[in-house]
Structure 1
């Protein structure tokens, strides 16, 4: 079910890697951010949206990984916005994303995966400010709703995921440092952070998330193993070693 975390901002979490779908009320209607994950989740999210009694006018995709490229026909044939770089990348990886969605989640409308519209340069189509960076994925972006004190962070600032470098690109440690600086500046205006995966951060937890990601990055750059509770999850051992390998070149 949708849980309201701020005025006109709701979150629904799926079981799959604690994935968060976000619904934002704008001036003209609702914006659905990163809906997922399986077909049942999408249908239940659509039920929740119907109960709000407000039309969906747009979608927003934070980055071009398959679990953030999903959609359901019940949300409507509306623009699904992303940064220009994200939209281009989504088009290039669409077939692979569809295959991964089919393999990893049941009942996903595969024909709707990755159909994105680049944000217009003039802006104004989404509530809030888009904060673009280059960490984790091409064209990754957060959505800052400063008037409501909320930052929708995509796959950043999670309590369950360590920083995950894009293994297909070089320069990710520097990109992460820049991204954390940008998100840290945005976070000065909020008291709620919604990550793509994990618990919503509220109040002092916002600064703690930034500190945890910076501490992880500093430790990896120094060539050591961070004292990070998130690494107690065995499945993150591989991504962590990939991060270390990229730092070592």
Structure 2
């Protein structure tokens, strides 16, 4: 079964069953690929590697959008290539590794832990991924997690948004940050200001066109406004226990900081 499908010229996307998790491969002219957030199960990663090989493609480098267990995976079939992330994301991956491993083993066991979270920090202040394939601009912020980085591909108009702008999940704030609401607002504003977005790929959920991208920016802005108001409210995306728990935790956190 093939996992990757073409979203735009030179941009492949695969969606795992687990939490509708999206992975992206950006193809250079010689067949080398930038692989972003490969996930989730051992079989999923093997399938992604087989898809690339079957199309005459190969991973040249990897990129993790943020330091959560489901975004820092890899396997040997994808190749021994450098895997990058924003500096703050790499720091969190190192300091929180034990907890991330526990989450991994509960949710997607069987991965090679020697490869889990083995990330290289980008140079401080980097605003793009340096490689000889299509331009890959970075939008780095702390909205969902420290060092969260969306990747914008201007040639195709594809915005790989990490764990933001989902149609199936509420905005999930970093509630241990000093200003979780302010951080998320700042990150959302940066993403909403990206010019020329034709396709949005969220970390979890459905791919969106330009009009839906704008609708999601507005929906998430509205969610943050309701959080700031400090009164209980319902969001239709809260369909699972973990999301309802996150929503209630965010209400309590924002109320406690106000």
Q: TM-score range by the shorter chain?
A: over 0.9
Which residue number in structure 2 is paired with residue 96 of structure 1?
Answer: 99
| 1:81 alignment counterpart | 84
What TM-score results when the alignment is normalised by the length of structure 1? 0.94
Deviations 1:88-115 (A, max 9, x none): 1111122322222112113222221110
- Give distance in 1, aligned partners of 2:110 and 2:65: 22
Superposition RMSD on alpha carbons, in Å? 1.6
Distance 2:218 2:174 in 1: 21
**Post-superposition CA distance 1:2-43 (Å, at most 9, x none):** 121111111111111111111111356201111111111111
Residue 143 (structure 2) aligned to one of 135, 140, 158: 135
- 5 Å-filtered alignment, 1:44-193, equals 44-121=47-124, 123-126=128-131, 127-186=135-194, 188-193=195-200
Instruction: Out of 10-19 and 24-33, give the one that drifted further.
Output: 24-33
Tell me if the contact between 2:23 and 2:35 (Cα under 8 Å) persists in the aligned partners: yes
Indicate the structure with greater helix content.
1
Structure 2 equivalent of residue 32 of structure 1: 35
Aligned length: 248
Contact 1:80 1:115 in 2 (8 A): yes
Instruction: Verify the 8 A CA contact 2:24 2:38 in the aligned structure 1.
Output: yes
CA distance in structure 1 between the partners assigned to 2:245 and 2:234 by the alignment: 16
CA displacement at 1:225 relative to structure 2:
3.9
Q: Which residue of 2 aligns with 1:10?
A: 12
What TM-score results when the alignment is normalised by the length of structure 2?
0.91
Q: Which runs of 5+ in 1 are unaligned?
A: none
Q: Tell me, yes or no, if the aligned pair for 1:94 and 1:113 is still in contact at 8 Å.
A: no
